[in-house]
Structure 1
Amino acid sequence: MNIFRLAGDMTHLFSVLVLLLKIHTIKSCAGISLKTQELYAIVFTTRYLDLFTTYISLYNTIMKLIFLGSSISIVWYMRHHKVVRRSYDKDQDTFRHYLLMLPCLLLALLINEKFTFLEVMWAFSLYLEAVAILPQLVLLQRTRNIDNLTGQYVLLLGAYRALYVLNWIYRYFTEENYVHWITWVSGIVQTLLYADFFYYYFQSWKNNVKLQLPA
């Protein structure tokens, strides 16, 4: 494992911890898209179907369990916790996220590394993760005023994917026959979706003003 992969994993983990901190400590999910969280739960469920059939390493298994368990628990809290769910911006979080799933599934059936159930589900999870942030970004544009924890959560998610892109570049030049076009294209698309958010986040940081996205 190289430094870019490790940094990407830790950044991803920190993004989850920031979101859980907001939900458990502040008892609020204001500014967080339930639609995006549901998509992430589906992403990790379909990606980690091999969790109990293929062992890679203890580190790999632990990280899979953390991301799978945390994504499901976040959805549960937002839907069923009597205090947390009251802060959910249901009227603003109206992105039809289910419309993203069918194209991703069809693409996975057409473009995959091997036409087996696990490989198709793996490809589906990559395609879906690439666009899963869209409901969250749309919600932030609608609400405009973004609290610090929500901004940090989205920033860390984008940074995690950007670090993974660096990881792929590093592995391409240091490992023989390292080519994974599905992973690369999906990851680059996902990273590009954060570009606008990155710009406004660093503008707000540089000018020491509250983060706002244009409507």
Structure 2
Amino acid sequence: MQCYLCVCFHAGISLKAQELYALVFVSRYLDIFASFISLYNTTMKFIFLGTSFSIVWYMRRHKVVRRSYDKDQDTFRHIFLVLPCLILALLLNEKLTFKEVMWTFSLYLEAVAILPQLVLLQRTRNIDNLTAQYIFLLGAYRAFYILNWIYRYFTEPNYAHWITWISGLVQTLLYADFFYYYFLSWKNNVKLQLPS
């Protein structure tokens, strides 16, 4: 009998996207070694890092998961996202310090980290319920962030974070096409299929 975690990783999940998300969290949470905000904050950052690297490890090394992962279809090259995001972070940031550049890099990279997953789904056209719900929840997570920013803009004086806002908007727009087809399939009670 396979474990539940192993069943969750299958041909529809992109290892490349998971590796990019792990890089997002590493570059974003560098502050855990320099400053202490709270026990909750530090614990949650370690949980994000631990789960991100655990997912990558399972997809690369676990026997059952590795067999079900379709690496022949998941061929998106990291460098095409990582390098432009790093260059952009060096050019457009709030302050030219290592910590701030890495924070900005994490925002830019998170905005596009879903692309390998979307490309994989487009290639394989294999979108089961679990994969579709996973992508939907990733996008919904970002949509809730946008609602939070709108709320904070109207309730906090001088609240303006243009880099964060534009990155979040780009990320949400990348999900828009997927959301459209997700809602059509849900409304019509049919399996999700992306157009060719």
Q: Output the TM-score relative to the length of structure 1.
A: 0.86
Matched, 1:138 2:119: yes
**Cα displacement string for residues 54-80 of structure 1 (whole angstroms, at most 9, x for unaligned residues):** 222333222212211111110100001
Structure 1 residue 23 displacement after superposition: 6.2
CA–CA separation in structure 2 for the residues paired with 1:29 and 1:87: 5
1:161-200 to 2 correspondence within 5 Å?
161-200=142-181
CA contact (8 A) 2:6 2:64 kept: no
CA contact (8 A) 2:146 2:168 kept: yes
CA–CA separation in structure 1 for the residues paired with 2:78 and 2:57: 17
Number of residue pairs aligned between Structure 1 and Structure 2: 194
Structure 1 residue 167 displacement after superposition: 0.5
CA contact (8 A) 1:23 1:29 kept: no
Q: Which of 23, 32, 35 is matched with 2:16 structurally? A: 35
User: Which consecutive unaligned segments of at least 5 residues does structure 2 have?
Assistant: none
CA–CA separation in structure 1 for the residues paired with 2:75 and 2:33: 36
Structure 1 residue 151 displacement after superposition: 0.9
Structure 1 residue 98 displacement after superposition: 1.7
Task: Give aligned-pair identity as a percent.
Answer: 79
Partner SS for 1:51? helix
Higher relative contact order (CA 8 A, sep 6+): 1
**Cα displacement string for residues 13-50 of structure 1 (whole angstroms, at most 9, x for unaligned residues):** xxxxxxxxx96152642200111001001000010001
Q: Output the TM-score relative to the length of structure 2.
A: 0.94
CA contact (8 A) 1:145 1:213 kept: no
Structure 1 residue 53 displacement after superposition: 2.2
CA–CA separation in structure 1 for the residues paired with 2:4 and 2:104: 31
Q: Which of 50, 61, 69 is matched with 1:80 structurally? A: 61
